[in-house]
Amino acid sequence: MKLFCTLLLAALLFISGCDASSKATDEESCTETNIAYVSEVTGDSRVAAGDELELSVSFPVNNGCGQFNAFTETEDGNVITIEVEAIYDTCSMCTMDIPTRTAPYTFQAETEGSYTLKFKSSETEFITKTITVN
């Protein structure tokens, strides 16, 4: 009887351990990221050297679960190319609309001059914002 109880306990622990690991794997795979193309950029075009300039960046997401995740920047001299990355919860029920989200983009330059910000608005097109730093 002791052997039976020990085997039963071991089996239950094994089964519960398998269930916990599969649940953790499922939760980890509940997000997906994609590039979201920018539809509008608003904000000032002048800033003092060393100060921060906040721009408002709008972009549509593919469904109601889509949210802002990150900006990806590529710098080439005074030209900065910016992509928006959206994140989606793939384990939730989502509305099938295409809402527009807005996220603040902060620009700061220590050196005076003219800077070109290129926000990716399609595979080949950009919304360009020129910032003058005094």
Q: Answer yes or no: is 97 within a domain.
A: yes
**Residue 66's pLDDT is what?**
97
In sequence order, what are the residues at sequence separation of 6 or more whose Cβ sits closer than 8 angstroms to the Cβ of residue 98? 60, 61, 62, 63
Q: Minimal CA–CA distance to 37: which of 100, 107, 104, 105?
A: 100
**Rounded-to-integer distance, Cα 90 and Cα 92, Å:** 6
Going from the C-alpha of 6 to that of each of 14, 17, 55, the distances in angstroms are 12, 16, 64
Q: Answer yes or no: is 23 within a domain.
A: no
Q: Answer yes or no: is 73 within a domain.
A: yes
Question: What is the average per-residue pLDDT within 76-88?
Answer: 98
**Residue 29's pLDDT is what?**
86
Q: What CATH code is carried by the domain that includes residue 73?
A: 2.60.40
Summarised one tens digit per residue, pLDDT across range 13-59 is: 555 555 444 444 445 689 999 999 999 999 999 999 999 999 999 99
Q: Answer yes or no: is 38 within a domain.
A: yes
Range of the domain at 60: 31-133
Confidence of residue 134 (pLDDT cuts 50, 70, 90): very high
Summarised one tens digit per residue, pLDDT across range 99-128 is: 999 999 999 999 999 999 999 999 999 999
Tokens found for residue 104: 């603040």
**Backbone angles phi and psi of 112, in degrees to 5:** -65, 150
Whole-structure pTM value: 0.77
Look at residue 6 and tell me whether its pLDDT is greater than 90: no
Domain count, the chain: 1
Q: Answer yes or no: is 10 within a domain.
A: no
